[in-house]
Amino acid sequence: MDCPFCPDKINSKIIEEYGSVFAIGDNYPVTKGHLLILPRRHTPDFFSMTVNEAKDAEHLLRQLRERLLHQDATITGFNIGINCGISAGQTIMHAHIHLIPRRDGDTPKPRGGVRGVIPDKMSYPQR
């Protein structure tokens, strides 16, 4: 198996670890500080992660969020994204979670957030 996200391929890029998961910077960051959280075990997507891996990933997400907020006062929000399957945009079949810092003004109309994966559905009426 030639997975670019398996730890033996990217040990030098690991910036933080917790239990069964680790974090690296995204090679194609959406924003400054964009990180990926991955299980050490090769598994294809979020739904194949164990309960323990998911729990460790949540812990690391929270820890990294706090670190990013402490390091960069311009961060005002976050997107957390998980692509599962080719039709959902997953290109590397090793489970990974995106932690994407957001800043006021980084996009003209942020309303709809992750709904933007289908651009025509990002905007919806306010109630």
Q: Which residues lie below 8 Å from residue 78, measured CB to CB, with a gap of 6+? A: 65, 99, 100, 101, 102
* Res 126 pLDDT > 80: no
Note the pTM of the prediction, 2 decimals.
Answer: 0.94
Closest by CA position to 18, among listed 47, 53, 45: 53
The C-alpha atoms of residue 64 and residue 66 are separated, in whole angstroms, by 5
pLDDT tens-digit series, residues 93-114? 999 999 999 999 999 888 888 8
Each domain of the chain, given as residue ranges in start order, spans 7-106
Q: Which CATH fold topology does 7-106 show?
A: HIT family, subunit A (3.30.428)
pLDDT tens-digit series, residues 31-84? 999 999 999 999 999 999 999 999 999 999 999 999 999 999 999 999 999 999
